[in-house]
Amino acid sequence: MTPSTTEPTLTRLADGRELFYYDEHPGSGRDSFADKRDLPPRSTAAQLRHDVLRDEWVAVAAARQTRPVLPATNRCPLCPSTDDNLTEIPAPSYDVAVFENRFPSFGGRTAADPHQPHPPAAGRCEVVCFTSDHGSSFAELSPTRARLVLDAQIDRTAKLSRRDDIEQVFCFENRGEEIGVTLHHPHGQIYGFPYVAPDLAKMLAVARRHRDNGGGNLFAETLAAERAEGTRIVATGEHWTAFVPVAARWPFEVHLYPHTRAADLTELPGGYRDSFAPVYLDVLRRFDALFDSPLPYISAWYQGPVRADRDLSYTHLRLFSIRRAPGKLKYLAGSESAMGAFVNDVPPEEAARMLREAL
């Protein structure tokens, strides 16, 4: 694995959770600020329950019912702490901060209970704050700050991958109330899954079958086909291509692929790390320019599992919005929610054209 170029500063919150500061300029001294809150004991771990009909795991995390939902700006728990608002970030300012989620879907206390029929949900959930500016967004970050966020994701991927209770590291961002965001502050999350998530497992199974039948790497072939066809390309750089996939499920869906295979973010060469931010920021700004308003979206890194199928894996980012037109959202129909049979109202070629012309 290629090491991250950024080493964080570690401190601890009042209940013992870890907080990492990633700084554009080292030596900020942010770790000297202590968490002054009187916090209750940390939440117990969620349970893992096995759906035998799907052969999939479901986490049951009752403690998440008490997490904050859309607090007032002056009570935001992701802003820097002030005398009037003690938050998850004790320092009065920060560049990028990563901390253990206080209301995790996985992790917390993970000791097995012999009296419980279901195992605890091991793993880890972290929050990634992109900036201390509450009113900003990822699209408004500078390329330097966006690179720092990527460095933080790479560093956390490397360190979480060393844990024996984590099988996949998933970095993602949800933006917009329509998506279900509960905090407006610009932030993402990192899940250390104790299993390989169903969608990734399915894609890798298809890629394995393709290779076993005489094909090459299915992800690399998909990128090559999109670059050759050309009509669905949205943006390109020296090392990255952003395109609308030929069978996009969502009205506006863009995949960003590096031009070389990496099983996860830690394997991206340095030049690829440097050149990611300009292409990604360009796509995000096209999203927001599309209907002259911030588009709700989910942005998700598809990294290979920690231990399995790394030779098949091809890390890439998938970005999609549920908005299909001004004032109109795509709600999942019964066939989509119940059967996973998607219908897209916007032809992928049209979506790509609209995004290319948005700026």
pLDDT of residue 46: 85
Tell me the average pLDDT across 88-100.
97
The pLDDT tens digits of the residues spanning 46-71 come to: 899 999 999 999 999 888 888 888 89
Alpha carbons 173 and 179: distance in angstroms, whole number: 10
Judge whether 185 is annotated as a binding position.
Answer: yes
pLDDT over 80 (residue 246): yes
pLDDT of residue 3: 41
**Percent of the chain at pLDDT exceeding 90:** 85
pLDDT over 70 (residue 108): no
pLDDT of residue 109: 59
The pLDDT tens digits of the residues spanning 114-123 come to: 677 888 889 9
pLDDT over 70 (residue 111): no
Could you give the domains of the chain? 9-195 (3.30.428.10), 199-356 (3.30.428.10)
pLDDT over 70 (residue 113): no
pLDDT over 90 (residue 312): yes
**Percent of the chain at pLDDT exceeding 70:** 96
Q: Are 104 and 125 within 8 A, CB to CB?
A: yes
Question: Whole-model pTM?
Answer: 0.95
User: What confidence tier does 154 reach under pLDDT thresholds 50, 70, 90?
Assistant: very high
pLDDT of residue 63: 82
Strand pairing class (187-193; 233-236): unpaired
The pLDDT tens digits of the residues spanning 15-54 come to: 999 999 999 988 888 999 999 999 998 877 789 999 999 9
Mean pLDDT across the chain: 94
pLDDT of residue 4: 44
Compute, in degrees rounded to 10, the torsion defined by CA atoms 134, 139, 145, 151. 110
∠ at Cα 343 (341, 348), nearest 5°? 125
pLDDT of residue 2: 43
Q: Is 50 in the active site? A: no
Judge whether 316 is annotated as a binding position.
Answer: no
Tell me the average pLDDT across 131-147.
97
- Of the candidates 184, 187, 239, 316, the residue annotated as catalytic is 187
Tell me the average pLDDT across 165-188.
95
Dihedral sign for Cα 21, 102, 156, 249, please: negative
User: What confidence tier does 99 reach under pLDDT thresholds 50, 70, 90?
Assistant: very high
